[in-house]
Structure 1
Amino acid sequence: MTTGAKVPETEVVPIASGRVAVRWRASPRARRISMRIDPRSGHVIITLPRGARRADGLALLRAHSAWVAAGLSRLPPRTELRHGGHVLLDGQSHEIHHAPEARRGVWLEDGRLHVSGAEEFIARRVMAWLRAQAAHLLPARLRLQAGQGGFHPTQVRLRDTRSRWGSCSSDGGIMLCWRLVMAPREVQHYIIAHELAHLRHMNHGPDFWQLVDQITPHRRQAEKWLHAHGAGLHRLGGA
């Protein structure tokens, strides 16, 4: 990673406000040391360019300890996928009910999400079910919305992104974060509209936003919801 002593991949570092988990990343392409908070894991990610030292990264961390503490304090608590917990689908909250004797996998019934099998597999099975729902629902909704507006994306992909809800590539491919399936339908509609608009405007200029507002009436409502609840979607499941 750097010259000198080997830098650990992760470690716990004391700062003025307490102790924080740090994840180190080497980047030969980086031009300077950078730092950000991973909203999913709660790690402080410090990126070191070629030749940078761990001591330099620690100096940056401690110089901005107040910023780090404030950012970590704003993270919502991690959602526990367990019996009696709750999970969102299309913005609707469903209580998780463990049904150990059942043989149906995971299914929705009477407003509850039932999970069969051993208790220690509840979280993994719920996450797999959510991903399957996303794979079924989000591409179909995007294609429907694209057809209604006369847009022609070349492909639709789902990923587990940490900082973007969607993206549009120069060749017309659209990516959506699968976790959007947990957000209300109005939020999904806005994110899809945002990426479809990029098929005609690969920027965020006035023409782009005018087109977004033509495609969806949910922009302001969705932005407000994502600001309040978006980070919580990333706090579901593993880091």
Structure 2
Amino acid sequence: MPAVDKPRAKRRSMPEVSDIHMLNFATRKVPLVFKQNKRAQRIILRLDHGNSSIIVVLPKRTSRDEGKRFALSNKDWIEQHLDQLHEPVPFLHNNIIPILGTPHRISHKPNARGVVWCESEEIHVAGHEEHVSRRVQDWLKVEAKREIEARAYAKAEVVGKKIKKITIRDTKSRWGSCTSEGELAFSWRLIFAPKHVMDYVIAHEVAHLREMNHGPKFWKLCGEICRNMDSARRWLETHGTDLYRYGRF
């Protein structure tokens, strides 16, 4: 088994690289992205769920050719984990994406007036074809913010705390966060998750407004404001990485 690092709560940024090698398998191609890390002691393979690629971390004075040979020597291991690198689902005409867990079809309406609207489990997008992806993503972020804010403020009122600010981001390492100042942040990709999963993530962060820890009191409070906490946690563990596939090309 190759050396593989585990997901961290916070990832350090690495220099951009221009060399991307495609690794061919029977059913698909997977990008190998090479990144230098002076602190690395050995070559490391990492699954990048957000971009459906394999990151090859290269220590100092290690060439990309060496990294490529290392990846090829562990091709069997990569193939065993391909199911974790979901095929991207771009925001394009006729593609299906979940909204709060319910499948919706993207329907391009080039001659329609307006921008984006949803009805009968279809996301209608007006305008030129080249604007469809961006308009769908912008609309999804607005919907995510609306859904998250409504639930977060309601739960904060239940626990007797005030939220200072809510920020919607595109994070890869966590679904939500809470600061001691009462500022909450959430991934807009929660809009794809079932309602009870989004509800749990929001409850988790709101509970931190009273308990800035993961002790027994925290989990008791979290369970009080989220009835399906356990099932939601299991869903995230099993399907969470799937939420990164939507909108990728």
Deviation at 1:44, TM superposition (A): 0.9
RMSD: 3.0
Q: State the match for 2:3 in structure 1.
A: none
Q: Match of 2:171, SS?
A: coil
Report the CA distance between 1:105 and its aligned residue: 1.0
Task: State the match for 1:103 in structure 2.
Answer: 113
Structure 1 segments, 4+ long, off by >6 Å, are: none
Deviation per CA, 1:170-206: give whole Å up to 9, x if none.
4443221001122222111100111223334444343
Q: C-alpha separation between the residues in 2 aligned to 1:201 and 1:60?
A: 45
How has the CA–CA distance of structure 1 residues 121 and 69 changed in structure 2, closer, same or farther, with 3 Å as cutoff?
same
Query: What amino acid sits opposite 2:55 in the alignment?
Result: I
- Using the TM superposition, give the Cα deviation of residue 107 of structure 1 relative to its aligned residue in structure 2, in angstroms: 0.6
**8 Å CA contact 2:176, 2:201 repeated in 1:** yes
User: Structure 1 residue 120 and structure 2 residue 159: aligned?
Assistant: no
> Quick check: 1:76 aligned with 2:55?
no
Tell me the distance in 2 between the aligned counterparts of 1:156 and 1:34.
36
Instruction: Return the letter of the residue paired with 1:133.
Output: E
Q: Is the 8 A contact 1:80 1:236 kept in 2?
A: yes
What's the counterpart of residue 4 of structure 2?
none
Number of the residue aligned with 2:77: 67
Answer yes or no: is the 8 Å Cα contact 2:101–2:194 preserved in 1: yes
Normalising by structure 1, report the TM-score: 0.80
Aligned partner (choices 225, 231, 247) of residue 237 of structure 1: 247
Structure-1 separation of matches of 2:238 and 2:161:
30
Partner of 1:145: 155
1:176 corresponds to 2:186: yes
Counterpart secondary structure, 2:81: helix
Matches of 1:45 and 1:145, distance apart in 2: 39
**Aligned in 2, Cα 1:170/1:66: closer, same or farther, shift over 3 Å?**
farther
Partner deviation per Cα, 1:17-62 (whole Å, 9 max, x = no partner): 9964111233456666543211132111233455554456446535
Of 79-88 and 185-194, more deviation after overlay is shown by 79-88
Aligned length: 233
> Which residues of structure 1 form unaligned runs of 5+?
1-6
Segments of structure 2 that go 5 or more residues without pairing to the other structure are 1-16
TM-score w.r.t. length of structure 2: 0.78
Identity of aligned residues (%): 37
Is 1:39 matched up with 2:52?
no
